[in-house]
């Protein structure tokens, strides 16, 4: 088994006590199980989930055991392979990984619906995470990175997968598509809708920094600050006679949800990825009488979404503009601050460099 003769500890960013914040700690380098690989982490990205965990909100208190090394969006290279791994993986291989670890014997998995396993455990949420110099992942979860996908892009494939999976829910070819919420996943979903051949793509938010950035991430998308512009005026400008065919709700905002219902055509489709912070009131009558189809979206399809993601990157979808900040890992505080201020796209931490 692999071992580093110099040291058996690593730097890691962990929730060490049930309170706000994360701490940079020295932790033992994890040992991969027989069906796992050990990955030397090069780059990680900060997710909204990590902000929840940092803030130690109600959801985190219920779901995240302490102590916990956080982080699930990462890319690196394989440094050790468990003895029962039968995939053709090799040491030195550049990889990312699906962060949802599933029970391959569950009914859902046996039916081929890997992403619907009710006992899914999240790397960096329910098991030790990737904000560290090393992380262990099941070989099953590993995604081999093509040579032309750099580590920082590899580190944002997890949220890109959420965007692609949401966009996969309905046929977008030639359709008018509304995306509500211009966080990183909303921006990527808008870019995917463009690549999927949508007739128009409208992306809404109330944060101008994000809407401006969206112009770079998803060129050709019509961005709308709904506090300044009326969505119906924009629809008129774009020649939409009745409404949008498909809505992708990425914000979790009840106002955005209502805007989707109001502006969809009869028989339109709505995919929901944004999670409302509390139960929300909904005009079910409007949904029923418009005969809308609503789909909740969770995670990424293993591994169709991953194949489509790498295909979209190859086809020229460029995620580079989305990464607005990169820091060496020991400057993580700055990264979390800029994320919390809503003045960033994706924030990437480099685990090979210190400040």
Pick the catalytic residue: 7, 9, 44, 49?
49
Residue length, the chain?
A: 355
Decide if 250 contacts 169 (C-beta within 8 A).
no
49 is catalytic: yes
Considering only residues 53-112, where is the footprint of Zn ion by CB under 5 A? Answer: 73
Q: Are the CB atoms for 184 and 162 separated by under 8 Å?
A: no
Q: How far is the CB of 50 from Zn ion (least distance, A)?
A: 7
Q: Which residue is nearest to Zn ion (CB)?
A: 47
How far apart are CB 36 and Zn ion at their closest, in Å? 21
- Contacts with Zn ion by CB under 5 A: the residue count is 4
Q: Where are the beta strands (DSSP E) in the chain?
A: 9-15, 23-28, 36-45, 68-69, 73-81, 94-97, 100-101, 121-122, 134-138, 142-144, 176-180, 200-205, 222-225, 244-249, 264-272, 293-296, 323-328, 346-350
What is the separation of C-alpha 110 from the centre of its chain, rounded to a whole number of angstroms? 25
Query: Which one of 21-29, 153-161, 214-222, 271-279 is the stretch in contact with Zn ion (CB under 5 A)?
Result: 153-161
From residue 177, how far is each of 200, 296, 319 by CA, in Å? 6, 17, 20
d(CA 130, CA 126): 12
Nearest approach in angstroms of CB 66 to Zn ion is: 20
Shortest CB 31 distance to Zn ion, Å: 25
Number of H helices, E strands in the chain: 12, 18
Q: Under the criterion CB under 5 A, does residue 339 sit at the interface with Zn ion? A: no
CB of 266 to Zn ion, least distance (A): 35
Which of 178/187 has CB closer to Zn ion? 187
Q: Return the residue of 41, 47, 81, 213 that touches Zn ion, per CB under 5 A.
A: 47
The DSSP-derived string for 283-325 is -HHHHHHTT-EEEE--S--TTHHHHHHHHHHHTT---GGGEEE
- From the list 9, 31, 42, 52, the catalytic residue is 52
Q: Closer CB to Zn ion, residue 120 or residue 200?
A: 120
Residue 47 CB, nearest approach to Zn ion (Å): 3
CB closer to Zn ion, 50 vs 245: 50
Options 39-47, 109-117, 217-225, 281-289: segment touching Zn ion (CB under 5 A): 39-47
Annotated active-site residue 42? The verdict is no
Residues forming the active site? 49, 52
Residues of the shown chain interacting with Zn ion in the complex, contacts defined by CB under 5 A: 47, 73, 158-159
């Amino acid at each position: 088994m692999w071992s580093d003769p110099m040291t058996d500890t690593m730097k890691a960013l962990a929730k060490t006590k049930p309170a706000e914040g994360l701490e940079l700690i020295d932790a033992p380098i994890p040992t991969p199980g027989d069906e796992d690989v050990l990955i030397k982490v090069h780059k990680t990205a900060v997710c909204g989930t990590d902000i929840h965990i940092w803030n130690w909100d109600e959801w985190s208190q219920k779901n995240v055991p302490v102590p916990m090394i956080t982080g699930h969006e990462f890319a690196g290279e394989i440094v050790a392979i468990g003895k029962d791994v039968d995939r053709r993986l090799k040491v030195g291989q550049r990889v990312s990984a699906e962060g949802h670890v599933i029970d391959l014997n569950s009914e859902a998995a046996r039916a081929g619906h890997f992403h619907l396993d009710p006992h899914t455990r999240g790397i960096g949420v329910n098991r030790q995470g990737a904000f560290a110099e090393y992380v262990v992942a099941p070989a099953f979860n590993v995604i081999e990175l093509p040579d032309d996908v750099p580590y920082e892009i590899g580190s944002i494939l997890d949220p890109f997968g959420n965007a692609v999976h949401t966009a996969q829910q309905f046929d977008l070819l030639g359709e008018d598509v509304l995306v509500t919420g211009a966080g990183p996943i909303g921006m990527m979903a808008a870019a995917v809708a463009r690549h999927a051949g949508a007739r128009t793509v409208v992306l809404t938010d109330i944060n101008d920094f994000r809407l401006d950035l969206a112009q770079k991430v998803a060129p050709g998308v019509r961005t709308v600050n709904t506090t300044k512009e009326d969505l119906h005026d924009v629809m008129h400008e774009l020649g939409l006679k009745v409404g949008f065919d498909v809505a992708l709700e990425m914000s979790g905002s009840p106002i955005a949800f209502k805007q989707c219902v109001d502006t969809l055509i009869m028989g339109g489709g709505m995919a929901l990825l944004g999670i409302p912070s509390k139960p929300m009131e909904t005009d079910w009558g409007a949904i029923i009488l418009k005969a809308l189809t609503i789909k909740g979206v969770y995670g990424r399809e293993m591994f169709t979404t991953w194949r489509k993601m790498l295909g979209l990157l190859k086809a020229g979808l460029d995620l580079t503009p989305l990464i607005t900040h990169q820091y060496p890992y020991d400057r993580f505080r700055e990264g979390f601050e800029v994320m919390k201020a809503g003045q960033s796209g994706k924030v990437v931490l480099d685990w090979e460099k210190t400040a």
